[in-house]
Amino acid sequence: MGKNFTENKRSIEDLELTAVEIRKSIITMLEAAGSGHSAGPLGLSDILTALYFDIMKHDPKNPDWDGRDYFFLSNGHCVPVQYATMAEAGYFDKKELKTLRKFKSRLQGHPEREQLPGLENTSGPLGSGLSQACGVALSLQMQKKSHQWVYCMMGDGELNEGNIWEAAMFANKYRLHNLIAFVDRNNIQIDGTTEHVMPLEDLRAKWEAFGWHVIDIDGNDIEAVIDAAAMARAIVEKPIVIIAHTIPGKGVDFMEFDYHWHGMPVGLKDVAGAPPKNEQAKVALKELRTLAGKIKNEHEN
């Protein structure tokens, strides 16, 4: 029998503090790796915390439990947040996080399903995750497993890939109402802002035109994420997409909203507006400790 994290709900304060711990792990593991993506994983920490510690049915001690919900990370370069969240949830020892991107590590720069129990998909080339999620969602419907849900995370820059929209049509055709997708709407990609590289707006209208039910939320508000997922599970006959507006680099002042941190770790090089490279990790961790203190104070008052 698998474990359902929704049966032992944490308080919003506990979830917010967990998200801070996940952010700390992201900074530490990226510094140790010397390569990797920072902004997206930091921005996604609240959503992944909500999914793994409140929303999804899953069991870290039995990752292949037949009754689990499924999570697909389509924007695989953001996998540091998934590794950090899984370690926090107990899938593996947090010490292993420092092996990120190392030779023979289970924690590569993009997720490899067969390397680490608990990963549902292998992703690297952008645009594939939604199709993978559609396949599992349809399979669950055919097996009449109505109590299981499929969640898929996509990046907003990833929506430039045509395969995403092919999957969106497929999901609508087969009325995959057990599929809940997220778009990480942080407005950046590796070459600049999304609206400069390839404009996406009106994003809601695009998804609605493809037959999806659309929910817009603040993706850094854990309570809003939980509420949106509950609303999504109540929708019938349509796939659901949650457009989650997040702050890239969330929690680290010198990274927030700066697209240069999309594909760069702390400590790699000096960046305008940031501390010297040998101080970046220390400053980031200090800011995150301060953030944890603010969260505690807010909930006490």
Mean of pLDDT values over 66-78: 97
Q: What percent of the chain has pLDDT over 70?
A: 97
Average pLDDT over residues 234-245: 96
What CATH number is attached to the domain comprising 43?
A: 3.40.50.970
Which tens digit of pLDDT belongs to each residue from 46-64? 999 999 999 999 999 999 9
pLDDT in tens, 80-106: 999 999 999 999 999 999 999 999 999
Phi, psi of 59 (to 5 degrees): -140, 105
Q: Is 211 left (phi over 0), alpha (psi -120 to 50) or beta?
A: left
- 271: number of Cβ within 10 Å: 17
Average confidence (pLDDT) over 267-285: 95
Q: What is the pLDDT of residue 4?
A: 54
The pair phi, psi for residue 110, each rounded to 5°, is -130, 145
Asked if pLDDT for residue 1 goes beyond 50, the answer is: no
Mean pLDDT of the chain: 95
- The average pLDDT across 148-156 equals 98
Give the span between the Cα atoms of 86 and 62, in whole angstroms. 13
301 pLDDT higher than 80: no
For residue 293, give every residue at least 6 positions away whose Cβ sits within 8 Å of its Cβ, in sequence order, or none: none
- In sign, the C-alpha dihedral spanning 74, 75, 76, 80 is negative
Query: Does residue 261 register a pLDDT over 50?
Result: yes
**In what helix (H) or strand (E) does residue 61 lie, and over which residues does it extend?**
none
What is the extent of the structural domain holding 59? 5-300
pLDDT tens for residues 9-24? Answer: 899 999 999 999 999 9
Determine the pLDDT at residue 93: 97
Model pLDDT, residue 125: 87
Q: How many CB atoms lie within 10 A of CB 64?
A: 9
Coarse DSSP helix, strand, coil percentages of the chain, rounded to the nearest 5 percent: 45, 10, 40
Tally the C-alpha atoms within 13 A of residue 224's C-alpha that lie toward its C-beta: 13
- pLDDT recorded at residue 239: 98
- Predicted TM-score (pTM) of the model is 0.96
> Do residues 109 and 36 make contact, with C-beta atoms less than 8 angstroms apart?
yes
What does the DSSP assignment read for 134-167?
HHHHHHHHHTT-TT--EEEEEESGGGGSHHHHHH
pLDDT-based confidence at residue 6 (cuts at 50, 70, 90): low
Hey, how many other C-beta atoms are within 10 angstroms of the C-beta on 97? 23
Residue 7's pLDDT is what? Answer: 59
For residue 186, which of 220, 221, 236 has the smallest C-alpha distance?
220
Domain count of the chain?
1
- pLDDT band of 5, cuts 50, 70, 90: low
